[in-house]
Amino acid sequence: METAGKEEISVEDEAVDKTIFKDCSNIAFYRRQKQQFSKNTYRALLDSVTTGKDSTKFQIINEVTKIPLLAEVYGIERNIFRLKINEETPLKPRYEVPDVLTCKPNTVSLISCSGDTGSLLLADGERDLKCHILANPFKIELISEKEVVISINSLGQLYFEHLQIPRKQRATTEKQEEGSADASQESQEDLGLWEEKFGNFVDVKANGPTSIGLDFSLHGFEHLYGIPQHAESHRLKNTKDGDAYRLYNLDIYGYQIYSKTGIYGSVPYLLAHKLGRTIGIFWLNASETLVEINTEPEVEYTFTQMGPTAAKQKVRPRTDVCWMSESGIIDVFLLTGPTPSDVFKQYSYLTGTQCMPPLFSLGYHQCRWNYDDEQDVKAVDAGFDEHDIPYDVMWLDIEHTEGKRYFTWDKKRFPNPKRMQELLRNKKRKLVVISDPHVKVDPEYSVYAKAKEQGFFVRNPEGGNFEGICWPGLSSYLDFTNPKVREWYSGLFAFSAYQESTDILFVWNDMNEPSVFKGPELTMQKNAIHHGGWEHRELHNIYGLYQQMSTAEGLTQRSKGKERPFVLSRSFFAGSQKYGAVWTGDNTAEWSYLKISLPMLLTLSITGISFCGADVGGFIGNPEAELLVRWYQAGAYQPFFRGHATMNTKRREPWLFGEEHTQFIRKAIRERYTLLPYLYSLFYHAHVASKPVMRPLWVEFHDELEAFGIEDEYMLGSALLVHPVTEPKATMIDVFLPGPNEIWYDSKTFAHWEGGCTVKIPVALDSIPVFQRGGSVVPIKTTIGKSTGWMANSPYGLRIALSTKGSAVGELYLDDGHSFQYLHQKQFLHRKFSFCSNVLINSCADEKGHYPSKCVVEQILVLGFRKKPSSVITHSSDGKDQPVAFTYCARTCTLSLEKLSLNVDADWQVHVK
């Protein structure tokens, strides 16, 4: 045991041969379901229908086995339907995912309307939606405006494997009967019914096969998005046999791009969009899941008839989606929109909105594996100041601990962690440290000893603590599915428990898929046992969410509920947005990884996780200077902005690539800090109104077909269009500017274009194309500090881009940036800026909020102002008028007002005459 614990673990344990990960052909439940699809027929027993307060229940029977299932249909407020299918009388309860739904959803009564003998029609009394249940074969249609939007089981792919008595518990005679009736032993092994082999591993299944599956046909839809996390295009692709999208959280170092292999996190939720409607399917299941997609495009048939006339008939496109999970029950929510914004709200009603981040976490983060010691931290921190580059957070990876024992410090490298934190505090900066879910097996290590004593580790099937290899060597894994473990773990972040920690220390949860070196697919064996006796297979994909939940709660508790936490997690599930940020994991310093990061982040954003980013520069390898510059420029316009690199890579602090490249990186990071008021306001809207911060074009321009497939540019909020440069040595790039009635302004040159076309934009290495949408007002900071903390009272500017009608509107959200007082005491400021008929008005957007601010608006820049004004006058709420000096440029049609002193929290007007 002791030798295993001392085994030297290196990055090579994570960087492994990709063949140790399964493809679909290696997954037994996938093979079983594919073999059975043509043989399964289910019939709904409509004479068994019962209507309760919350749901309508009925039996479904398999025509071959005659074993009944119980189906429940729920109408849920906000245009949501829920379908649950479970065994009617299981041998024991099947796993149902807890802790993801924010509360029990409020149901609405479904009224039974007339249906013929073979069907049942349920209508939501308040709305146009109807649910049509057909008996034989069993099928459900969701109807809106007399049109079928979604049909369920129309392909007959409902699949449900019932729990079985473990073989060792069966009587001998029963075994003999089974032997004669069942398929051959060879066939049983191939189907992986009771045991599944992969490489040197054998997965023993105590309850036999338990997989489920169901198909959904989406009528009129060809564009589907969602189901992260894959290093794939934003628009979901058709899957061929054996090439399904896999949702199974895995630690894949330097993952392959354009692959449907599941990586660090899973959100079993997809959206479909067409002209006039957006819908969503949320498949609430935390076991290994596969998703097959097949689109039948629109077809136009011509029927030649007798005589001279010919009739034409169009068949609408249809996309079939089949979900298959290894275990659990069928529990699916159908979000019926009809707009993208409605679907976002429906999903967050179920799983929660993005938590409001502390302002510092929207600044720039500097990380590597590892900063060597306190002197190294001090030198890097000073380097940012010497080179006039703002940053907010220093990060420490696993080497800061004593032998990879989390919640400790290496006494040689970090002899005085409090002094180091005080150095950062004096610069108004923060520290983030890593805390992984594995715990070094060491009786002298108090975290291990206490967890072992209280039975807080995941167990192996024999009843002992599960042990696997990770960074510390032999490790046990905390069972975060147990509420008592989460409560205890949260307590470890208390200042009294976490020695030498201070209130500027925040946390990074890594390796929480969970990663187990030398385990099957580098993760935990599926028959490990969790709280409640559940096997790991039931809940694998939610493990990481539970650690992030517990960490966020710990950081909140240590401040007695006053301060917002910041927690970055590598693994995630539906609902992770409530607890912090995620990132795209161990990417590589290559142009192709910069390019794929855009669709990866867009997919996370539309599935509820707004606070996301990719490691700037690429975690693995050494980026060339041009790539690093381009990555900083992209990252500056993305929600989570962190530079990171693995050990054994060359140092790559922003000033190490020559003065010219330092200048470009400085410019990109400073532009990020300039935009913080706009970004923070966007996060407030994500928090209260479920709007993604980073948006694919189709979300803003949902009636523009050309926007549906674009993934190399995106909207930051509704006002800025960003097109990162993802190819080397680029001098000219094509930018699609959406919206035939829109006008777009180059944020650098102020040149303007009409929308609805593609334009060629020259690019140099100093910047990337960013356009402001006509009709928007973007609040900015006019002076940049060393970190966000230095900018609290610095002045604001307004960038006003006029629409074709000469108007614009925008907002500013402001609070203290760190506490929960915005929520509990309504201490916030929410202002609205509107420019119309040559008058700019600053008014209150939410009367409930009150937050005194010393800040002033000192600059106003108006783009698209066609004529030089004769005068500009400010009009304050106390009735005082004051003339203002202005500059007008006829060539760029810009009006610039400077040296203003307009209180941001007061009502005022600016009249342009």
Chain segment 782-795, per-residue pLDDT in tens: 999 999 999 999 99
Annotated active-site residue in 54, 215, 374, 510: 510
Average pLDDT over residues 215-222: 98
Give residues with Cβ within 8 angstroms of 259, minimum separation 6. Answer: 230, 231, 232
Average pLDDT over residues 272-296: 98
- Which residue, 638, 397, 400, is CA-closest to 509? 397
Q: Give φ, ψ of 785 to 5 degrees.
A: -100, -175
Query: Which range among 119-128, 257-266, 384-393, 740-749 shows the weakest confidence by mean pLDDT?
Result: 119-128
Q: Where are the alpha helices (DSSP H) in 325-445?
A: 340-351, 374-386, 417-426
Residue in the block written with tokens 């490790």:
475
In which element (H, E) is residue 111 found? strand 110-113
- Which residue, 283, 316, 313, is CA-closest to 96? 283
Q: What whole-number distance in Å separates Cα of residue 62 and Cα of residue 47? A: 16
Average pLDDT, the chain: 94
Q: What whole-number distance in Å separates Cα of residue 844 and Cα of residue 906? A: 8
Average pLDDT over residues 791-811: 98
| Residue 664 near residue 302, CB atoms below 8 Å | no
Does pLDDT of 70 surpass 90?
Answer: yes
Q: What whole-number distance in Å separates Cα of residue 43 and Cα of residue 25? A: 30
Residues in the chain: 913
Average pLDDT over residues 287-293: 98
Average pLDDT over residues 18-33: 94
Give residues with Cβ within 8 angstroms of 2, minimum separation 6. Answer: none
The per-residue pLDDT for 614 is: 98
The per-residue pLDDT for 12 is: 60
Does pLDDT of 15 surpass 70?
Answer: no
Q: What whole-number distance in Å separates Cα of residue 227 and Cα of residue 240? A: 17
Q: What is the DSSP string of 837-887?
A: TTEEEEEES-TT-------EEEEEEEES--S--S-EEEEETTS-EEE--EE
CA angle 716, 252, 506 (to 5 degrees): 55
| Residue 361 near residue 297, CB atoms below 8 Å | no
Residue type, 523: T
| Residue 885 near residue 873, CB atoms below 8 Å | no
Q: Give φ, ψ of 660 to 5 degrees.
A: -65, -45
Average pLDDT over residues 385-410: 98
Spacing of C-alpha 583 from chain mean position: 9
Condensed to tens digits (0 to 9), the pLDDT of residues 694-729 reads: 999 999 999 999 999 999 999 999 999 999 999 999
Condensed to tens digits (0 to 9), the pLDDT of residues 509-530 reads: 999 999 999 999 999 999 999 9
Does pLDDT of 5 surpass 80?
Answer: no
Question: For a pLDDT cut of 90, what percent of the chain falls above it?
Answer: 89
Q: What whole-number distance in Å separates Cα of residue 828 and Cα of residue 848? A: 9
Does pLDDT of 203 surpass 80?
Answer: yes
The per-residue pLDDT for 7 is: 52
pTM (global) more than 0.85: yes
Q: What whole-number distance in Å separates Cα of residue 660 and Cα of residue 667? A: 11
Where residue 177 falls among pLDDT bands split at 50, 70, 90?
Answer: very low
Active site residue 510: yes
The per-residue pLDDT for 298 is: 78
Q: What whole-number distance in Å separates Cα of residue 26 and Cα of residue 133? A: 36
Spacing of C-alpha 658 from chain mean position: 36
Q: What whole-number distance in Å separates Cα of residue 183 and Cα of residue 804? A: 72
The per-residue pLDDT for 3 is: 33
Q: Which two tokens stand for residue 555?
A: 């950081």
Annotated active-site residue in 392, 397, 410, 586: 586
Ramachandran class of 357: left when φ > 0, alpha when ψ lies in -120 to 50, beta otherwise: beta
Peptide bond into 483 cis (omega under 30): no
Give residues with Cβ within 8 angstroms of 756, minimum separation 6. Answer: 704, 737, 738, 739, 740, 741, 742
Q: What whole-number distance in Å separates Cα of residue 778 and Cα of residue 671? A: 13
| Residue 514 near residue 524, CB atoms below 8 Å | yes
Query: Which range among 238-242, 263-267, 679-683, 827-831 shows the weakest confidence by mean pLDDT?
Result: 238-242
The per-residue pLDDT for 516 is: 98
| Residue 132 near residue 143, CB atoms below 8 Å | yes
Where residue 299 falls among pLDDT bands split at 50, 70, 90?
Answer: confident
In which element (H, E) is residue 697 found? helix 697-700
The per-residue pLDDT for 681 is: 98
Q: What whole-number distance in Å separates Cα of residue 858 and Cα of residue 119? A: 67
Give residues with Cβ within 8 angstroms of 641, minimum separation 6. Answer: 362, 363, 364, 365, 613, 616, 635, 672
Kindly report each contact of residues 848-854 with a partner whose C-beta sits within 8 Å and lies 24 or more positions away, as own/partner.
849/822, 850/826, 851/814, 851/815, 851/816, 851/822, 851/827, 851/905, 852/905, 853/814, 853/829, 853/903, 853/904, 853/905, 854/793
Distances (CA, A) of 399 to 231, 237, 361, 413, 501: 29, 41, 23, 9, 16
Annotated active-site residue in 161, 399, 442, 513: 513
Does pLDDT of 501 surpass 60?
Answer: yes
The per-residue pLDDT for 877 is: 87
Residue in the block written with tokens 């119309």:
836
Average pLDDT over residues 875-888: 94
